[in-house]
């Protein structure tokens, strides 16, 4: 019911579309403390648009294989747009609180749509942070302030977004490479790996422009996973906006 309430008001091209809700009441005789009693079982169902390419976690590959850069960039861009709508496009902001590849669905054109709003929270405009005793999210996508102090804010989703972005760019295991080197070394390594792949790809529109996109996306993703939440960007400010705008003229990408 929480997910139904959260989804009912959402209308955006990068949010999975709720099509309907239905339920069935089934009358049954059940055993209760050794006695047979009449009971009602309620079966509920949410109906969503069909997403041909399933969830993003089925499409995470390292730089050397899988989808080309523009497909990955399209997924990053659309996910950022969907999260921007949740944080800034509603009368009261909504925090997703479980953003991960399994909850990003892909349609037949590989357009990403954020899904699974079962634990999302609507936040009053004057409420920037809150604490909770309820376990939220998924290990590996939770920020340090939540793990240590149960604190949630818009920076919770930003941390999760950073993890997702790195895994889109480098594959599922690529995220852990950053722990064995400096941020600059990680950026240079990913950038060089993508440059080699793009140089070998006949469909590369503009080598330098796409390499620049790769570097900027990795830099921004690392900003998003800063341990100190105050050092992370917000979805509609500064570097995260550049995720969509950094190479506008070079690749002729449709922008926000």
Domain boundaries of the chain, sorted by first residue = 2-48, 56-251
**Quick one: pLDDT at residue 134?**
67
pLDDT classification of 206: cutoffs 50, 70, 90: confident
Among positive and negative, which fits the CA dihedral 125, 130, 134, 137? positive
Lowest mean pLDDT among 27-36, 46-55, 115-124: 115-124
pLDDT: which is higher, 110 or 2: 110
Which phi and psi angles does 143 have, rounded to 5°? Answer: -75, 160
73 pLDDT above the threshold of 60: yes
Report how far apart the first and last C-alpha atoms of the chain are (Å, whole number): 32
For residue 203, what are its two tokens?
Answer: 């469909």
Gap between the Cα atoms of 118 and 115, Å rounded: 9
Region 92-120: what's the mean pLDDT? 93
Q: Does domain 56-251 have CATH number 1.10.510.10?
A: yes
**98 in active site:** yes
| 144 vs 254, higher pLDDT | 144
Q: Quick one: pLDDT band at residue 85, thresholds 50, 70, 90?
A: very high
Count how many residues are written for the chain.
256
Least confident stretch, 23-37, 118-132, 217-231, 241-255: 241-255
Contacts of 4 (CB under 8 A, 6+ apart): 18, 21, 46
The answer on pLDDT for 115 being more than 60 is yes
Check whether 255 has a pLDDT greater than 50: no
pLDDT tens digit string along 211-249? 999 999 999 999 999 999 999 999 885 556 555 555 444
The H-or-E segment that residue 32 falls in is strand 18-32
Q: Which entry of 62, 68, 98, 116 is annotated as an active-site residue?
A: 98
More confident residue, 245 or 184: 184
Q: Across the chain, what does the average pLDDT equal?
A: 86
pLDDT bracket for residue 160 (50, 70, 90): very high
How far is CA 58 from each of CA 75, 109, 137, 227, rounded to the nearest angstrom? 13, 15, 20, 28
Residue 251 is predicted with a pLDDT of 43
């Amino acid at each position: 019911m929480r997910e139904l309430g959260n989804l009912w008001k959402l209308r955006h091209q990068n949010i999975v579309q709720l099509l309907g809700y239905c339920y069935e009441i089934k009358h049954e005789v059940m055993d209760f403390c050794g006695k047979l009693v009449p009971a009602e079982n309620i079966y509920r169902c949410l109906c969503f648009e069909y997403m041909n390419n399933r969830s993003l976690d089925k499409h995470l590959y390292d730089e050397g294989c899988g989808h080309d850069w523009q497909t990955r960039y399209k997924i990053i861009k659309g996910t950022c747009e969907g999260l921007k709508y949740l944080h800034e496009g509603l009368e009261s902001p909504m925090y997703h609180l479980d953003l991960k590849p399994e909850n990003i669905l892909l349609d037949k054109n590989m357009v990403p749509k954020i899904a699974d709003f079962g634990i999302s929270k609507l936040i009053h405009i004057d409420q920037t942070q809150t604490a909770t005793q309820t376990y939220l999210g998924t290990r590996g996508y939770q920020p340090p302030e939540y793990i240590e102090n149960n604190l949630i804010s818009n920076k919770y989703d930003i941390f999760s977004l950073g993890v997702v972005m790195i895994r889109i760019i480098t594959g599922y295991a690529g995220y852990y490479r950053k722990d064995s080197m400096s941020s600059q070394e990680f950026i240079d390594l990913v950038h060089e790996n993508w440059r080699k792949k793009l140089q070998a790809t006949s469909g590369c529109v503009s080598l330098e422009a796409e390499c620049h996109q790769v570097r900027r996306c990795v830099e921004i993703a690392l900003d998003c996973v800063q341990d100190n939440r105050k050092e992370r960007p917000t979805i509609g400010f500064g570097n995260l906006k550049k995720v969509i705008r950094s190479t506008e003229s070079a690749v002729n990408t449709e922008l926000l």
